């Protein structure tokens, strides 16, 4: 069953998240877009955050509203404290609360270490790591204020950090990105330990190679794709829906006892495929 087939969509459209309120950062492209749509399909009301590209964000909103749930787009830079605070405050005004925070926004600014500017380093750390800290902090405040509402969910709230296989795989030429995702792993675990007693579940999803604009160079030519497939034992490049489906499951009460875990959704990329025939 293809990840984006009608059949698989049926599986996650079982209204698993009915009545819940979700916010997805960077939701007008790639994984965030697919995730926002999947959460809406599963019955959640959704805030579609974007930093640039309002038209794309508004299209996502229209698609989500087609499921009979509420949605609106909201512009905010996740690395800006005031903007993140205002975004969550507006959501509480508009939807009454927040149940699911998907800290997805991320970017790359690649360079060999000797060529990497401080600006490139700081940009990636501030969006990919500080942005997740700010989103987690603001949503945790609301989860704690509101507490558990049994009819909605067994937990007081879910924070899902979009990580990467580079949480654990070093990546030459990308020291800023790999460091940000390594940081996301520890951010997630520490927050999970701190917030679990408040019945808040913090977890990470770590995608492998997913076909989105962030990594177009890695799959847009047949040669590049062949190279990439060497790193994927399951031998297919992932689709945004592969990740979106994992987020829906992680956010739902089906996985209520999953706390402080990283779910690798990577076709086996973290299985050291270079050792399949060597070593
Ligand atoms: P993408 O470029 O399609 O989407 C990234 C989104 O983040 C865009 O909507 C972009 O506008 C947004 N964004 C960037 N800076 C922002 C900011 N300051 N504030 C708010 N939004 C901002 O890429 P994607 O592949 O969908 O990436 C989504 C997440 O998945 C990222 O965290 C990325 O690191 C992670 N990821 C992707 C892959 C992959 O193979 N595509 C693999 C591992 C991890």
Q: What is the pLDDT of residues 119-146, one digit of tens each?
A: 999 999 999 999 999 999 999 999 999 9
CA nearest to 207, candidates 225, 227, 191, 184: 184
Domain boundaries, the chain: 7-264
Q: What is the pLDDT of residue 2?
A: 54
Distance between CA 13 and CA 17 in Å, rounded? Answer: 9
The top-level CATH class assigned to 7-264 is alpha beta
Q: What is the pLDDT of residue 214?
A: 87
Q: Is residue 177 among the annotated active site residues? A: yes
Distance between CA 97 and CA 88 in Å, rounded? Answer: 9
Count the neighbouring beta carbons within 10 Å of the beta carbon of residue 150: 6
What is the percentage of the chain residues whose pLDDT exceeds 70? 95
Q: How far is the CA of 210 from the centre of ligand 1 (A)?
A: 11
Tell me, letter by letter, the H, E, C secondary structure of the chain: CCCCCHHHHHHHCCCCCCCCEEEECCCCCHHHHHHHHHHHHCCCEEEEEECCCHHHHHHHHHHHHCCCCCEEEEECCCCCHHHHHHHHHHHHHHHCCCCEEEECCCCCCCCCHHHCCHHHHHHHHHHHHHHHHHHHHHHHHHHHHHCCCCCCCCCCEEEEEECCHHHCCCCCCCHHHHHHHHHHHHHHHHHHHHHHHHCEEEEEEEECCECCHHHHHHHCCHHHHHHHHCCCCCCCCECHHHHHHHHHHHHCHHHCCCCCCEEEECCCHHHCHHHCCCC
Q: What is the pLDDT of residue 211?
A: 96
Q: How far is the CA of 211 from the centre of ligand 1 (A)?
A: 12
Q: Which residues line ligand 1 (CB under 6 A)?
A: 25-26, 28-32, 49-52, 77-79, 104-107, 127, 162, 164, 207, 209-210, 212-215
Measured from the CA of 78, which atom of ligand 1 is nearest? 19
- According to DSSP, the residues that pair with 72 across neighbouring strands are 47
Q: What is the pLDDT of residue 28?
A: 98
Distance between CA 29 and CA 35 in Å, rounded? Answer: 10
CA nearest to 261, candidates 207, 204, 206: 204
Residue in 54, 106, 131 to alter for ligand 1 test, most ligand atoms within 8 A of Cβ: 106
Catalytic residue among 50, 72, 74, 177: 177
- Which two structure tokens, joined as six digits, stand for 159? 């924070």
CA nearest to 12, candidates 208, 212, 251, 238: 251
Residue in 27, 60, 105 to alter for ligand 1 test, most ligand atoms within 8 A of Cβ: 105
Residue in 50, 213, 214 to alter for ligand 1 test, most ligand atoms within 8 A of Cβ: 214
Measured from the CA of 238, which atom of ligand 1 is nearest? 40
Residues 6+ apart with CB under 8 A from 166: 174, 177, 178, 181, 182
Q: What is the pLDDT of residue 278?
A: 77
Per-residue pLDDT for the chain (279 aa), expressed as one digit of tens each? 455 566 555 555 568 999 999 999 999 999 999 999 999 999 999 999 999 999 999 999 999 999 999 999 999 999 999 999 999 999 999 999 999 999 999 999 999 999 999 999 999 999 999 999 999 999 999 999 999 999 999 999 999 999 999 999 999 999 999 999 999 999 999 999 999 999 999 999 999 999 999 899 999 999 999 999 999 999 999 999 999 999 999 999 999 999 999 999 999 999 999 999 877
Q: How far is the CA of 246 from the centre of ligand 1 (A)?
A: 16
Q: What is the pLDDT of residue 11?
A: 52
Q: What is the pLDDT of residue 1?
A: 45
- Answer for the pair 61, 36: CB distance below 8 angstroms, yes or no: no
Distance between CA 46 and CA 95 in Å, rounded? Answer: 9
Q: How far is the CA of 70 from the centre of ligand 1 (A)?
A: 23
Distance between CA 267 and CA 273 in Å, rounded? Answer: 11
């Amino acid at each position: 069953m293809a990840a984006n087939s009608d059949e698989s969509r049926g599986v996650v459209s079982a209204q698993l998240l009915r009545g819940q309120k979700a916010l997805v950062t960077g939701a007008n492209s790639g994984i965030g877009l697919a995730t926002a749509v999947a959460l809406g399909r599963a019955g959640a009301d959704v805030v579609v955050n974007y930093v640039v590209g309002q038209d794309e964000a508004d299209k996502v909103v229209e698609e989500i509203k087609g499921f009979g749930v509420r949605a609106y787009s909201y512009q905010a830079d996740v690395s800006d404290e005031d903007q993140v605070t205002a975004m969550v405050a507006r959501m509480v005004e508009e939807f009454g609360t927040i149940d699911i925070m998907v800290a997805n926004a991320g970017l790359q600014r690649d360079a060999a270490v000797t060529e990497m500017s401080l600006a490139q380093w700081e940009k990636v750390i501030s969006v990919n790591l500080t942005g997740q800290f700010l989103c987690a902090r603001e949503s945790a405040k609301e989860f704690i204020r509101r507490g558990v509402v049994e009819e909605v969910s067994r937990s007081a709230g879910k924070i899902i950090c979009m990580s990467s296989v580079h949480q654990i795989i070093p990546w030459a030429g990308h020291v800023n990105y790999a460091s940000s995702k390594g940081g996301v792993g520890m951010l997630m675990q520490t927050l999970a330990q701190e917030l679990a007693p408040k019945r808040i579940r913090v977890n990470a999803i770590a995608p492998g190679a997913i076909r989105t604009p962030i990594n177009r160079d890695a799959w847009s030519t047949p040669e590049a794709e062949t190279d990439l497939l060497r790193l994927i034992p399951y031998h297919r490049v992932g689709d945004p829906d592969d990740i979106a489906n994992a987020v829906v499951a992680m956010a739902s009460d089906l996985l209520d006892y999953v706390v402080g875990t990283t779910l690798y959704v990577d076709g086996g990329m973290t299985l050291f495929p270079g050792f399949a025939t060597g070593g």
